[in-house]
Amino acid sequence: MSTSATMPPSGDTGGDAPHHPPTPPRRILLIDADAFFVAVARQEDPEGAGKATLLIVGGRPGSRGVVCSASYECRAYGVRSAMPISRALKLCPQATCVPVPRHVCGQRSREIQAVLAQFAPVIQPSSIDEWYCDLGGTEALYGHEPLEMTAHRMREAVFAATGLRVSIGGGSSRLVAKMAVEMAKPKPGTGATGVCCVPPGSEEEFLRGFRLGDLPMVGPRFAARLERMGLETVEQAQRWPEEALVHRLGERAGRWLARRIRGRDESVVVPRDRQKQVSRETTFGRNLHDDDVVERELLRLAVRVSTDLRRQALRARTVTVKLRDADFRTRSAQRTLSTYIESERSVVRAAQPLLRQMRASRRAPVRLLGIALSHFEDEGDPLPAVQLGLFSGAGDPARAPEDPRETPRDRALVQALDRIRGRFGADAIVPARLVDSSRDTGPRVEE
């Protein structure tokens, strides 16, 4: 900013113009529960999993499950999330394998968030084991202590209340906090203390130690494109002027990367209250006539809405499908299951018969399609003793489709997919049926 923009001209006192103090830097923290599923499994089974240094959470030996999480000691053998249990045990045959304690994980997640709420006025859950906190405006409340000191006190408070350890990254943006938390994790041999806060003004220097592929939303294809330009590290990219990046990458990607490599991220922390319903719906650019295309769009919505469900550590047992025909007539059908579900596969299996019955009852072009999930697991009412029909008064309930049944493998798989999509974007991994299908529907408007 030029001098003339901040000071009055020579000889001019500026009159009574108000003085605006500079805006203080934002104080953003990312709290990440350390090896969350492993830690909870050890708490729940202190005599079994609790005594296993080499621990894999995700399934029993001999099962077709995949690794949900593994202890740091197992990771040293090459065990990774989403790896088949059989392969993980070949790499680390002495490891103990246990199922995911899903219900307890949801409870522990809520307990951690309750502790964080004692420190931060704004909390946004990012997943079952991650939370962004905005401590803006709390400087005086904490005696203007360094953000790192506040983070250490938060970490100890979480441990005192839950027995679980968290790592905390901090900085002036969500991006910097995300990168800092990776440096905070107390992995064996790193010497990390569980907290890493980047002082305001040093964001660019801090990021120099990372590869471009480490930045959130820089996927393998984008990283390969940058590598062809001779850019592998953040430091190399920082040497390029912003306009040079725009020239090579285009306006949108170039501007975006120029901001990211310097730690600039304007996204805000927004609190998200637990909902009574999670839903997704799409209005299509052109009316859909073909049943196969409509069902493919149902699959797309199932992927989206089930991801939203899991982000809130929820499972649901009521599935509602909504249709709006080309003449704007809106219809819906609902089905309550005898068990709770969370995977896109189960959502599709529950929703597909509803869609087919509505389509059979009225053949009309589809303008809008939606899926809603409700009746969540923690609402406390018992499961029904009998299977309900597709519709009220829909005939013999014995003819209703069988309820979808989720296995630990199904749940571990979607949790692994969530981590990949969180790293590389929602479209990083999608069912093959959804690849390059926009030509059938025209532009979509999702809500």
**Structural domains in the chain plus CATH codes:** 24-197 (3.30.70.270), 206-260 (1.10.150.20), 277-446 (3.30.1490.100)
* Mean predicted lDDT score pLDDT of the chain: 84
pLDDT tier, 165 (very low <50, low <70, confident <90, very high otherwise) = very high
The predicted pLDDT at position 395 comes to 38
pLDDT tier, 272 (very low <50, low <70, confident <90, very high otherwise) = low
- Is pLDDT above 60 for 149? yes
Q: How many CB atoms lie within 10 A of CB 327?
A: 9
**Active site (annotated) includes residue 130:** yes
Sign of the dihedral through C-alpha 343, 347, 350, 353: negative
Stretch (H or E) spanning 356: helix 344-361
Tokens read off for 54: 């080499």
- Is pLDDT above 70 for 279? yes
Average pLDDT for residues 251-257, to the nearest whole number? 94
Whether the pTM exceeds 0.75: the reply is no
Q: Do the beta carbons of residue 66 and residue 412 sit within 8 Å?
A: yes
Catalytic-role residue among 44, 47, 73, 130:
130
187-191, 329-333, 348-352, range with the lowest pLDDT: 187-191
164 Rama sector, left if φ>0, alpha if ψ -120 to 50, beta otherwise: beta
**Tens of pLDDT, residues 36-74:** 999 999 999 999 999 999 999 987 787 666 788 899 899
pLDDT tier, 238 (very low <50, low <70, confident <90, very high otherwise) = very high
CA distance 66 to 64: 7
- Is pLDDT above 90 for 24? no
Residue 236's nearest CA partner among 213, 211, 254 is 211
CA distance 128 to 108: 9
- Is pLDDT above 80 for 125? yes
Average pLDDT for residues 361-380, to the nearest whole number? 85
**Tens of pLDDT, residues 208-222:** 999 999 999 898 889
